[in-house]
């Protein structure tokens, strides 16, 4: 009788294990867990609008609620859609680490892998050829420097930078926000009025 009892116990355990394995395989085949997907843009330029909306799959029943950890100060977060939106300014340049977006339907939760967003300031590199003669053909012997003009319209170059270096052949403007900029340059000497502005050039920072 003891051998029979041991056999029955062994058979019962084997039957239970078989049921557990079958149930697991069945769930994997016929049911899928909720997932959250999407790749947030890892960088942005100050002044440029940022937007990211994750995608939920197999949401199941219940109202979806999104959450975020380590939200950048310049980001607005929508708990109903998971959307991250915002426009950083120049004071918010830097890298924002460890951002985690999650969603829950009240029964289960899904998470995006943590990510970072780096906010940079735009820059523009200008270059020119030093003048050697005046428009009348006379040699320039006392070149003193250059004036850089720029703005958001070719007709309103209202930002002015003095480059007081006669050997300079270029200039780098930094801390620019996203947008289109227009530039021109003129030269000046110690003994004559400034030259006319150069042709206007433009660049888009995005």
Distance CA(94)–CA(90), nearest Å, equals 9
pLDDT at 23: 31
Query: How confident is the model over 177-201, as a mean pLDDT?
Result: 94
Token reading at 82: 């998971």
Which tens digit of pLDDT belongs to each residue from 101-124?
999 999 999 999 999 999 999 999
Band of residue 34 on the pLDDT scale cut at 50, 70, 90: very high
Q: Which pLDDT value is given to residue 22?
A: 28
CB 198 within 8 A of CB 182: no
pLDDT for the residue numbered 14: 37
CA angle 134, 135, 137 (to 5 degrees): 65
Span 81-86, average pLDDT: 98
Per-residue pLDDT band at 192 (split at 50, 70, 90): confident
- The C-alpha atoms of residue 97 and residue 139 are separated, in whole angstroms, by 57
pLDDT over threshold 70, residue 32: yes
Instruction: Specify the higher pLDDT residue, 188 or 13.
Output: 188
- The pLDDT of residue 27: 28
- Burial class of residue 151, CB neighbours in 10 A (0-12, 13-18, 19+): middle
Of residues 155 and 29, more confidence is placed in 155
Strand bridging mode 115-120 / 109-111: unpaired
| Cβ within 8 Å of residue 123, ≥6 positions away | 172, 173, 174, 175, 176, 205
CA–CA gap between residue 12 and residue 177 (Å, rounded):
72
Compute the distance between CA of residue 155 and CA of residue 201 in angstroms, rounded to an integer.
12
């Amino acid at each position: 009788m003891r051998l029979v009892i041991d056999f029955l116990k062994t058979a019962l355990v084997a039957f239970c294990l078989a049921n557990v394995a079958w149930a697991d395989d069945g769930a994997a085949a016929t049911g899928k867990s909720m997932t959250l997907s999407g790749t947030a843009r890892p960088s942005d330029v100050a002044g440029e609008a940022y937007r990211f909306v994750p995608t939920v799959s197999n949401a199941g029943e219940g109202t979806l609620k999104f959450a975020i950890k380590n939200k950048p100060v310049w980001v607005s977060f929508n708990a109903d859609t998971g959307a991250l939106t915002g426009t950083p300014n120049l004071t918010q340049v830097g890298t924002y680490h460890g951002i985690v977006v999650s969603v829950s339907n009240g029964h289960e939760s899904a998470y995006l892998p943590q990510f970072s967003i780096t906010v940079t300031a735009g820059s523009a590199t200008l270059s020119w050829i030093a003048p050697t003669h005046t428009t009348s053909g006379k040699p320039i012997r006392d070149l003193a420097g250059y004036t850089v003009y720029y703005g958001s319209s070719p007709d309103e170059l209202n930002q002015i930078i003095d480059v007081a270096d006669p050997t300079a052949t270029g200039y780098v403007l930094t801390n620019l926000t996203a947008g289109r900029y227009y530039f021109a340059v003129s030269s000046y000497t110690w003994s004559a009025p400034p030259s006319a502005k150069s042709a206007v050039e433009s660049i888009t920072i995005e």
